[in-house]
Amino acid sequence: MYCEELFLILLVLIVKNKNTSEKCTSLHHINVLEGEPFHLKPCDISPSSHKNEALTIKWSKMNTLHDRIELDTSSSPRITSQGYSLEFWPVQLDDEGTYFSQVGNDEQNWTLTVIKRNEHSCFSGKLVYSRKVESKKLLHIPCEDSYYQKLINSTSLYKNCKKISPLKKNADPGDQGYYSCVLSIHHNGKQYNLTKTFNITIVEGHNNIIPVLLGPKLEHTEVELGKDVELNCSALLNEHDKFYWNIIKNDSLYPNVHEDKNVTTWISDGKLHASKILRIEKVTEKNLNFSYNCAVVNTEATDTKSFILFRKEMADIPGHVFTSGIIVAIFTSVAVVCLVIMCVIYKVDLVLFYRHLVERDETLTDGKIYDAFVSYLKDCHQENGEEHTFAVQTLPRVLEKQFGYKLCIFERDVMPGGAVVDEVHSLIEKSRRLIIVLSKSYMTNESRFELESGLHKALVERKIKIIIIEFMPVSDLTLLPQSLKLLKSYRVLKWKTNESLSYNSRFWKNLLYLMPAKAKPDGGDSETLPVLSVP
Ligand SMILES: *[C@@H]1O[C@H](CO)[C@@H](O)[C@H](O)[C@H]1NC(C)=O
Ligand SMILES: *[C@@H]1O[C@H](CO)[C@@H](O)[C@H](O)[C@H]1NC(C)=O
Ligand SMILES: *[C@@H]1O[C@H](CO)[C@@H](O)[C@H](O)[C@H]1NC(C)=O
Ligand SMILES: *[C@@H]1O[C@H](CO)[C@@H](O)[C@H](O)[C@H]1NC(C)=O
Ligand SMILES: *[C@@H]1O[C@H](CO)[C@@H](O)[C@H](O)[C@H]1NC(C)=O
């Protein structure tokens, strides 16, 4: 509010030229409208002379013929002298000319141009006061005149010569136009019009924002030497703010640095934004660790921002190499996983193949005599016949004849009589494996001793490894010694009469796998015997 009032006062001051005396005429070239009251008054009449009533003022006029004639103000009612003023009631076209006033030694002059009244307009274009009013600021047309103030009878306001009511409002673009204020003045019983016309132009208020650069004040940009780089500086600013990259143009030190001439602007949220690019072609060492500054400046504020280039740490992997790298890695891992799975599935075959390939032999240096001690049910009851045949005939046929192992089968290899317990004990100690042929009756049989003794060595002394062959399905496992259940399941082989006949069957491969590695004796019977003897 305060500002608006101040603006108004300023407007009045300009119109009235008030800083000299309100009644004095300071301009030297004056335009007046034909038919309006008018007056001239010299300025700076010294107070001493002012007080001295004896000092009189003399008026003279120089006409177009350059004759200077003293004016007789008492003879004409139209042109009168009032105090130190010369008044025209009203001014006429033939009043044009140069007027002189003389008070004592002080002489002043004015050149008067009388403008002919335009029949079609309420004012003359040559007699307007141009005023700019900011949009949204108070618009007020002052209708007053300090000299004739006491004589003013009424005032009326016209906009573009159409009468309007007195105006006091906030300006908008529609308010632009010519405002004529007509003061009705009475003098000597006559009415005169004094017209003042203002050419009002509405201007955009400069509601300047404080310009700012967007983003952090210091930005580090990774670059690769030899590549081009674009630094993008963006600002929130006013239309006429200065926005630039602070670089020396055509700098011979940095010939590869160019400020883009183009400024990209856009409006967002009703606010003006701009961005300007600094191009650095083929970045060199010199461009690194150097501060490139961008600035936005107006009369009220300044903002700057720095960009520093630094070398990219690692060599960049091009996109396609990266992608194919990932694909290769995936395929490799899938392949590895497959390989591991295959290895697990075909572990036994692989181990056997490996043993065969390197002719590995674990049996040479351990000082033992037998590769395996075979424990089975020794009583030849009818129901154990098959088991007996398997242990005494089939096992040796395959393991000894075909694969060159040396078995210890108590019934076959040990003479009857003697201390059975000691004998068994020492035989087991001389064997590398304990093969237990398991069947239902085994559990209840005396041979259980062998089992227990072997288990003791296997589990406590860790001297012998046990291989269990489930010859018949053992349903009631509760009969087995507790320790047997601790054996790893792969050490238990199931004999299947129908499927285990071939040497290539899983059963024999697994058995060979559990047996110690042994090089096959050379020139052994190359002829392959059937697993089961043909009855
Ligand atoms: C009024 O003001 C406008 C804008 O400032 C200007 O273009 C025009 O010439 C002015 N008119 C007169 C009669 O001075
Ligand atoms: C103007 O003033 C004069 C006397 O001062 C008066 O006679 C006249 O009626 C007034 N006119 C108007 C329109 O007020
Ligand atoms: C003064 O202006 C009024 C209208 O505003 C008009 O009626 C009147 O005749 C004018 N007087 C003179 C002397 O021009
Ligand atoms: C610069 O950044 C501004 C936004 O921050 C974006 O609008 C403009 O498109 C960018 N200019 C270039 C050339 O990338
Ligand atoms: C600037 O902009 C104009 C028009 O969009 C385009 O033709 C010109 O190439 C640009 N100049 C630069 C240096 O980008």
Task: Say if CB 361 and CB 517 are below 8 A apart.
Answer: yes
Output the CA torsion 121→122→128→130 (10° steps). -90
Q: From atom 4 of ligand 4, which residue's Cα is the shortest distance away? A: 234
Distance 131 CA to ligand 1 centre (A): 9
| Domain assignments of the chain as residue spans, ordered by start | 19-115, 128-203, 212-311, 319-345, 367-514
Index of the ligand 3 atom closest to the CA of residue 156: 5
Q: From atom 8 of ligand 5, which residue's Cα is the shortest distance away? A: 262
Task: Say if CB 169 and CB 129 are below 8 A apart.
Answer: no
Distance 153 CA to ligand 2 centre (A): 6
Q: How far apart are CA 161 and CA 120, in angstroms?
A: 10
**CA 342, 347, 350 angle in degrees (round to 5)?**
95
Distance 27 CA to ligand 1 centre (A): 21
Instruction: Tell the burial category of 336 from Cβ atoms under 10 Å away from its Cβ (0-12, 13-18, 19+).
Output: exposed
Q: Give the pairing of strands 128-134 and 138-140.
A: unpaired
Distance 317 CA to ligand 4 centre (A): 26
Taking the model in full, what pTM does it have?
0.42
* Known catalytic residue at 119: no
For residue 373, the number of C-alpha atoms closer than 13 Å in the C-beta half-sphere is 27
CATH topology of domain 367-514: Rossmann fold (3.40.50)
Per DSSP, the three-state class of 462 is coil
Q: Is the CB of 125 under 6 A from ligand 1?
A: yes
Q: How far apart are CA 62 and CA 66, in angstroms?
A: 5
Q: Is the CB of 146 under 6 A from ligand 3?
A: no
Residue 200 in tokens? 């009002």
In the set 362, 423, 450, 470, the catalytic residue is 450
Distance 214 CA to ligand 4 centre (A): 11
Other Cβ atoms closer than 10 A to 453: 19
CATH 1.10.3720.10 at 212-311, yes or no: no
Q: Is there a common fold for 19-115 and 128-203?
A: yes
pLDDT digit string (tens) for the chain, length 535 residues: 444 444 444 444 344 343 334 568 888 899 999 999 999 999 877 655 555 555 788 999 987 778 888 888 888 889 998 888 999 999 999 899 999 999 888 889 999 999 999 888 999 989 999 988 888 888 988 888 888 988 999 999 999 999 999 888 888 889 999 999 999 999 999 999 999 999 999 887 767 788 999 999 999 999 988 899 999 999 999 888 999 998 877 667 778 888 888 899 998 887 899 999 999 999 988 888 888 999 999 887 899 999 999 888 765 566 777 888 889 999 999 999 999 998 888 888 888 888 888 887 877 778 888 888 887 766 545 555 777 788 888 888 888 888 888 888 877 777 666 666 677 778 888 888 888 887 766 666 555 666 666 667 666 666 778 888 887 766 555 556 666 666 666 677 888 877 777 777 888 888 888 888 887 665 444 456 666 654 4
Q: How far apart are CA 392 and CA 374, in angstroms?
A: 9
**Which numeric CATH code is attached to 19-115?**
2.60.40.10
> Residue 84 contacts by C-beta under 8 Å, 6 or more apart in sequence?
41, 42, 45, 57, 101, 103
Crossing angle (nearest 10°) for helices 319-345 and 347-358: 80
Q: Is the CB of 257 under 6 A from ligand 3?
A: no
Index of the ligand 5 atom closest to the CA of residue 277: 14
Instruction: Report residues whose beta carbon is within 6 angstroms of any ligand 2 atom.
Output: 153-154, 186
Q: How far is CA 82 from CA 56, 58, 79, in A?
A: 12, 12, 10
**Which numeric CATH code is attached to 128-203?**
2.60.40.10
